[in-house]
């Protein structure tokens, strides 16, 4: 199930048994846990909510087997388990959790599909996947958050924020709070206010730079590269980041060459959905061989610096300029 379905179970008071919570959207995951905690009445919450961090299996079982006190249910929130725990024994216990106990197994990030815990959760419909929000879901969340804070924002401006900051909620919160403070109670968050407060993150700026090159605007691409370097990004760090983006694009290109569509390719990848979609759009203009060559050449940036053959910023620029950019998908 997805996060929306899980929140509905919480609202309906239908939580029962063990659930495995994982995925890349950490903020929404934390909010789901908090909502579950709030289902236990406040005056008896201390007696009936147990928070565990990497426990051994006996400690987890002990917490789950403890009867609720002055309450119908008890909640156990377990942040992963100790490395010594046998995953087969862990999932065997999931089916034995007392009916009075709600067990939330919370994992940071997205679990690999081939893990014992993942397979059990998916098969038993006990998996709660907190994927990065879609642009539509994120825009709705932004508008709701701003409205609750007493300010006003329209959907187009919310989309502008997403284009600048991405769809991860935690970094968005900081930007939104700055915007709300700027316009004040009852104020309207405008595109002008957004451009004043929010600067595009590194990932988005890199893809914007690549878009200039693929559009044949080499001068603009070089200016964008220089702006990144002058903005405090060191050439080695930028080279490493570009390499990581080209590796993602190579993974995407392999999926495209297998005949997979955009949704299938992006869903199978780690990282934010927004960044994966940008990577998909960019990868359509490269072959696998071209991406592999760019990765190999950019990996030599550190060598260029150490050998003194060429300044690293100049080397990154030459690698990008000598590539034969194409504006149309292949």
Q: Do residues 254 and 285 make contact, with C-beta atoms less than 8 angstroms apart?
A: no
pLDDT average per 10 residues of sequence, the chain (330 residues) = 91 91 89 94 93 93 92 93 89 90 92 87 91 83 93 91 80 89 92 85 77 82 82 78 89 92 82 76 91 91 78 86 84
Query: SS3 for 105?
Result: strand
CATH 1.20.272.10 maps onto the chain at 202-322
CATH 1.10.8.60 maps onto the chain at 135-197
Distance CA 204, CA 202 (A): 6
Q: Note the pLDDT of residue 231.
A: 61
Residue-wise burial string across 116-149, b where 16 or more C-beta atoms lie within 10 A, e elsewhere: ebbebbeeeebbbbbbbbebebbbebbbebbeee
Query: CB within 8 A of 270, min separation 6: which ones?
Result: 24, 109, 110
Phi, psi (deg, nearest 5) at residue 75: -120, 130
Q: Note the pLDDT of residue 289.
A: 94
Q: Note the pLDDT of residue 83.
A: 86
The C-alpha angle with vertex 200 and arms to 195 and 204, in degrees rounded to 5, equals: 140
Q: Which fold has domain 202-322?
A: Zinc Finger, Delta Prime; domain 3 (1.20.272)
Structure letter (DSSP) for residue 62:
H
Q: Do residues 64 and 48 make contact, with C-beta atoms less than 8 angstroms apart?
A: no
The C-alpha angle with vertex 307 and arms to 305 and 308, in degrees rounded to 5, equals: 65
Distance CA 107, CA 30 (A): 11
Q: Which fold has domain 135-197?
A: Helicase, Ruva Protein; domain 3 (1.10.8)
Provide Rg for the chain, Cα atoms. Answer: 24
CATH 3.40.50.300 maps onto the chain at 3-129
Distance CA 79, CA 104 (A): 8
Q: Do residues 238 and 229 make contact, with C-beta atoms less than 8 angstroms apart?
A: yes
Distance CA 212, CA 248 (A): 19
Q: Note the pLDDT of residue 126.
A: 92
Q: Note the pLDDT of residue 271.
A: 67
Q: Note the pLDDT of residue 25.
A: 85
| Closest C-alpha among 226, 219, 202 to residue 314 | 226
Q: What is 3-129's CATH number, 3.40.50.300, 3.40.50.2300, 3.30.565.10, 1.10.240.10?
A: 3.40.50.300
Q: Note the pLDDT of residue 64.
A: 94
């Amino acid at each position: 199930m997805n996060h929306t379905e899980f929140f509905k179970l919480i609202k309906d008071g239908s939580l029962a048994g063990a659930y495995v919570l994982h995925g890349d959207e950490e903020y929404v995951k934390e909010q789901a846990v908090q909502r579950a905690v709030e289902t236990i009445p406040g005056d008896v919450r201390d007696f009936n909510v147990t928070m565990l961090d990497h426990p051994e299996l006996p400690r987890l079982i002990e917490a789950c087997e403890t009867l609720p006190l002055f309450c119908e249910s008890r909640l156990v929130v377990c942040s992963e388990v100790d490395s010594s725990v046998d995953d087969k024994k862990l999932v065997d216990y999931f089916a034995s959790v007392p009916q009075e106990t709600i067990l939330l197994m919370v994992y940071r990030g997205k679990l690999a599909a081939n893990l014992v815990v993942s397979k059990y959760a998916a098969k038993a419909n006990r998996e709660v996947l907190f994927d990065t929000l879609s642009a539509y879901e994120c825009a709705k969340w932004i508008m709701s958050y701003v409205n609750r804070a007493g300010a006003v924002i329209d959907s187009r401006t919310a989309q502008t924020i997403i284009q600048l900051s991405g769809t991860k909620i935690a970094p968005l919160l900081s930007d939104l709070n700055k915007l709300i403070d700027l316009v004040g109670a009852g104020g309207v968050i405008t595109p002008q206010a957004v451009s004043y407060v929010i600067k595009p993150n590194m990932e988005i700026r890199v893809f914007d730079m690549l878009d200039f090159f693929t559009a044949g605007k080499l001068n603009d691409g070089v200016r964008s590269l220089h702006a990144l370097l002058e903005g405090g990004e060191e050439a080695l760090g930028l080279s490493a980041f570009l390499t990581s983006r080209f590796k993602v694009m190579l993974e995407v290109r392999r999926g495209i060459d297998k005949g997979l569509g955009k949704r299938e390719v992006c869903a199978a990848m780690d990282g934010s959905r927004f960044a994966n979609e940008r990577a998909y759009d960019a990868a359509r203009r490269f072959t696998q061989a071209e991406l592999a060559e760019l990765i190999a050449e950019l990996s030599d940036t550190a060598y260029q610096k150490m050998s003194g053959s060429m300044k690293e910023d100049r080397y990154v620029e030459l690698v990008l300029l000598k590539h034969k950019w194409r504006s149309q998908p292949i």
